[in-house]
Amino acid sequence: MSDLRRDPISGRWVIIAPERAGRPSEFQSVPVPEHSHLCPFCEGNEAETPGEVLAYRSPDSQPNQPGWYIRAVPNKFPALQSYGSLEEKRSGIFQQMTGVGCHEVIIESPRHLTSTSELSDKQVERLFCVYRDRLVDLSHDERLVYGLVFKNAGPPAGATLSHTHSQLLATPVLPFNVSEELASVRAFFDRHGGCLFCEMIQVELAGQHRIVEQSSNLIAFCPFAGRFPYETWILPKSHASHFEWQDDASLGQLACLVRRIICRMESVISQCAYNYLIHTAPFDTGQVEHYHWHIEIFPRLTKLAGFEWGTGYCVNPVPPEEAAKLLRNSHSE
Amino acid sequence: MSDLRRDPISGRWVIIAPERAGRPSEFQSVPVPEHSHLCPFCEGNEAETPGEVLAYRSPDSQPNQPGWYIRAVPNKFPALQSYGSLEEKRSGIFQQMTGVGCHEVIIESPRHLTSTSELSDKQVERLFCVYRDRLVDLSHDERLVYGLVFKNAGPPAGATLSHTHSQLLATPVLPFNVSEELASVRAFFDRHGGCLFCEMIQVELAGQHRIVEQSSNLIAFCPFAGRFPYETWILPKSHASHFEWQDDASLGQLACLVRRIICRMESVISQCAYNYLIHTAPFDTGQVEHYHWHIEIFPRLTKLAGFEWGTGYCVNPVPPEEAAKLLRNSHSE
């Protein structure tokens, strides 16, 4: 079982997860061929994954058999385990917690595609509906307080399998970055009586030079202090705290915008590895006035080196204003 | 010129450094051959780097000419610039600072070696004396408050040139990670009246199972909440806040221990990329009771993926107790 440990010096938590050591590392050996009997995520290889917790599939097909469009399954090498209870232990200066939670994989296509950008509009809409449906389902588990959807595409972004997939992590305590972000925007709300994200959207709309795309409901821009070259955030223009409260039509528009932004990144950067993260409010709250859901997408061109580990500062060689200009002028299909 | 920008949401600073985009990326094309006219760090190619700020060299040789053992030169693609003054600017929710500081490269050998472990004992002793001498020199610059020595070896660790080299960054404000660490150990000191690092050394000496090596003066162990597989910290057993206050004999012992630890990592992990960082107290202080200098060495086997960027937790698949056991039983030469 995993355990979470707190470094007494920095105060940071680390997940010690010996189960993860057994993960396949496809990219370190021979790449898996297209649509292969070797790829556990390809249609026909359903027995290679744990049983599905959700699938969108053709009406005449059976669970864990071919005929699906999208599948969500438990992660075979989870960083957190769904069994056991949350227990904290202290011993002198050391503090640790059992690694309880939920770690799922969402297989984005029955075909051996390698990027979300290769999905059709219809398929990427389904994918975002699966994100929502799994978050809503997990929010009913009383042990869990937060759900994080994320995607790793390409080895530099931490993917170990090339078949396009996303992941969902649900946790019994707020992850460090989430509670830090919530505290920061809460402090802004207390001082100024408004949502910091709403304020940021107004500033970007007024300035225009960091905007990549916008529609009546959504805005995509390169943030002022982006950590990575071409980092782009997508937000709803109107205040909304929970990603998972959207209807199918809104999710469809969002999904197509995410796909277009990834296409733009892939047209600017060859062999573009990337991550995206969906930031939403904690499960057990109503509409939160100071929090605004958003998606962060970032290509992985730079590496974290001694500089970043020593200082805590990311170094971004591409000013966000230039990045936005290049992305705006790139192909979105 | 670089600028530092603060993300209003997370509060984190980022360095926007367009000059860094021009860096060579040796590893993405053909590797540079051994001792080559193409490598800017090899003996004979001194004109390819900015002029040296310090060199240990044979008595009959001239500055910026062959005949050196170790050279320190300004970084040709600095993340921070040594000209200009520190200026802060605020505009609504956005805050930024000029990227002032000092960024040097320490070339560890005239020969085209690729790891600190390949240096002789004599040469690695010289290297650590150069670290000290450069830190002491920069501590006299009134604009600077902190000096960070770090090393990137291998592309996964962020190195762009293979010729073995270290870097030194000196800054006009405390880097985020340094001030966070100082605040944490200060809080411990205020509560318990002792140094947290000294306490940790006592715990590790009592338990023994995370120790890799120790001598009368130094201890090397895998920390309880290590972020990376095989992460190892080296500390002096007696309390001391400033790395750069050591004499040649102490530095010699330390340098040889660092070299042995890297040898151990390289014998356990094939093609081991690694970083190390020297954590010392800020320049402008006397002996600090709550801070204890130390070196962190970490192989780079895992990648930061959506999981880590979303949660803020590193996932380490090798429990530190197992890592220490493997390192203890490995070859140190």
Rounded average pLDDT over B215-221: 97
ipTM field: 0.90
> Which of A120, A144, A176 is at the close of a domain?
A176
Residue B37 lies in a domain: yes
At residue A24 the predicted structure's pLDDT band, cuts being 50, 70 and 90, is low
Place of tokens 């200082």: A311
CATH number at B284 reads 3.30.428.10
Residues A190, A225 contacting (CB under 8 angstroms)? no
Residues B126 and B221 placed together within one structural domain of the fold: no
pLDDT tens across B65-80, in order?
999 999 999 999 888 8
Residue B197 lies in a domain: yes
Residue B161 lies in a domain: yes
Residues A170 and A193 placed together within one structural domain of the fold: no
Q: What are phi and psi of A276, to 5 degrees?
A: -135, 155
Which amino acid, B90?
R
* E strands present in B2-119: 3-6, 13-16, 54-57, 68-74, 88-91, 94-98, 102-107
Residues A115, A266 contacting (CB under 8 angstroms)? yes
Interface membership of B225 toward A (CB under 8 Å): yes
Residues A145 and A224 placed together within one structural domain of the fold: no
The Cβ-side half-sphere exposure at A106, using a 13 Å CA radius, reads 28
Residues B217 and B278 placed together within one structural domain of the fold: yes
Most confident of A127-131, A160-164, A301-305: A127-131
Residues B85 and B124 placed together within one structural domain of the fold: yes
Rounded average pLDDT over B166-173: 94
pLDDT at residue A21 tops 80: no
Residues A148 and A196 placed together within one structural domain of the fold: no
Residues B316, B304 contacting (CB under 8 angstroms)? no
User: Of the candidates B176, B181, B188, B261, which has an alpha carbon nearest to the alpha carbon of residue B218?
Assistant: B261
Catalytic site residue from A165, A242, A279, A290: A165
pLDDT at residue B184 tops 90: yes
- Return residues 189-218 of A near B (CB < 8 Å): 196-197, 199-200, 203
User: How far is A329 from A326, CA to CA, in rounded Å?
Assistant: 5
Interface membership of B147 toward A (CB under 8 Å): no
User: How far is B147 from B135, CA to CA, in rounded Å?
Assistant: 6
User: How far is A48 from A39, CA to CA, in rounded Å?
Assistant: 9
User: Of the candidates A174, A166, A40, A18, which has an alpha carbon nearest to the alpha carbon of residue A103?
Assistant: A166
CA distance A134 to chain B (A): 17
Coil vs helix vs strand at B61: coil
> Which of A141, A176, A211 is at the close of a domain?
A176
Is B37 a catalytic site residue?
no
The Cβ-side half-sphere exposure at B137, using a 13 Å CA radius, reads 13
Q: What are phi and psi of A110, to 5 degrees?
A: -70, -20
Residues B227 and B144 placed together within one structural domain of the fold: no
Residues B223 and B112 placed together within one structural domain of the fold: no
CA distance B203 to chain A (A): 9
Report the number of distinct structural domains present in chain A.
2
Residues B146, B283 contacting (CB under 8 angstroms)? yes
B292 CB neighbours in chain A (<8 A) are: none
User: How far is B237 from B246, CA to CA, in rounded Å?
Assistant: 14
User: How far is B192 from A81, CA to CA, in rounded Å?
Assistant: 36
pLDDT tens across A116-156, in order?
999 999 999 999 999 999 999 999 998 899 999 999 999 99
Q: What residues form DSSP beta bridges with A97?
A: A4, A88
CA B273 remoteness from chain centre:
14
Q: What residues form DSSP beta bridges with B314?
A: A14
Amino acid A30: pLDDT: 45
Interface membership of B79 toward A (CB under 8 Å): yes
Amino acid B100: pLDDT: 87
User: Of the candidates B179, B175, B117, B110, which has an alpha carbon nearest to the alpha carbon of residue B149?
Assistant: B175
Residue B283 lies in a domain: yes
> Which of B144, B159, B176 is at the close of a domain?
B176
Amino acid A28: pLDDT: 47
Residues A30 and A151 placed together within one structural domain of the fold: yes
Chain B residue at shortest CA distance from A181: B10
Residue A333 lies in a domain: no
* E strands present in A17-67: 54-57
User: How far is A74 from A71, CA to CA, in rounded Å?
Assistant: 10
Residue B333 lies in a domain: no
Residues A11 and A142 placed together within one structural domain of the fold: yes
Instruction: Write out the residue range of the structural domain in which residue B165 sits.
Output: 3-176
User: How far is A243 from A281, CA to CA, in rounded Å?
Assistant: 8
pTM of the model: 0.92
B8 CB neighbours in chain A (<8 A) are: 184, 188, 196, 200, 224-225
Q: Which of B51-55, B136-140, B245-249, B281-285 has the lowest mean pLDDT?
A: B281-285
CA distance A62 to chain B (A): 32
Residues B149 and B235 placed together within one structural domain of the fold: no
Rounded average pLDDT over B164-180: 93
Q: Classify residue A94 by burial, with Cβ atoms within 10 Å: 0-12, 13-18, 19+.
A: middle
Interface membership of A306 toward B (CB under 8 Å): yes
Residue A37 lies in a domain: yes
Amino acid B37: pLDDT: 74
Chain A residue at shortest CA distance from B93: A200
Residues A158 and A215 placed together within one structural domain of the fold: no
Residue A181 lies in a domain: no
Amino acid A81: pLDDT: 85
Q: Do B18 and A317 touch (CB under 8 A)?
A: yes
At residue B29 the predicted structure's pLDDT band, cuts being 50, 70 and 90, is very low
Q: Which of B11, B21, B181 sits opposite A9 (nearest CB)?
A: B181
Chain A residue at shortest CA distance from B226: A14
